Amino acid sequence: MEEPEIAIVGTKGQIVIPQEMRRKLAIRPKTKMAIYRKDDKLVMTKISLPTVGDELKQLFEEIDEQNRGRKIPSDREVLKEIQTHRKERADKGA
């Protein structure tokens, strides 16, 4: 375990994470951090959020997996479903 470093809380409640720790943990401006309280201790951890591209890729992979082996509907079948849906909505609104 590393030796602790001292941080001072400023007047606005902000603390400065020591530079060496920021460097080792790749903490840069705008890095999202989660802060937890455990009794009289604060625990901070970086939040790693996937990029939108990565998230969409995962979503499409899940959709592909769910539909694996299923027949791809024809354009005519898709159009029929759209027309049926529109008719149902119109009937409810009437």
The CA-based dihedral angle spanning residues 14, 16, 22, 25, taken in that order and rounded to the nearest 10 degrees: -40
Q: What does the alpha-carbon distance between residue 33 and residue 43 come to, in Å, rounded to a whole number?
A: 10
Query: 3-16 pLDDT, tens per residue?
Result: 888 888 999 999 99
Structure tokens at 51: 């990029």
pTM above 0.85, yes or no: no
Domain residue limits, the chain: 1-48, 52-93
Give tens-digit pLDDT for 6-65: 888 999 999 999 999 999 999 999 999 999 999 999 999 999 887 888 889 999 999 888
**Radius of gyration for the chain, computed over Cα atoms and rounded to the nearest angstrom:** 26
CA 18 to chain centre: 27
Domain 1-48 has CATH 3.40.50.300: no
Token digits of residue 72: 């791809």
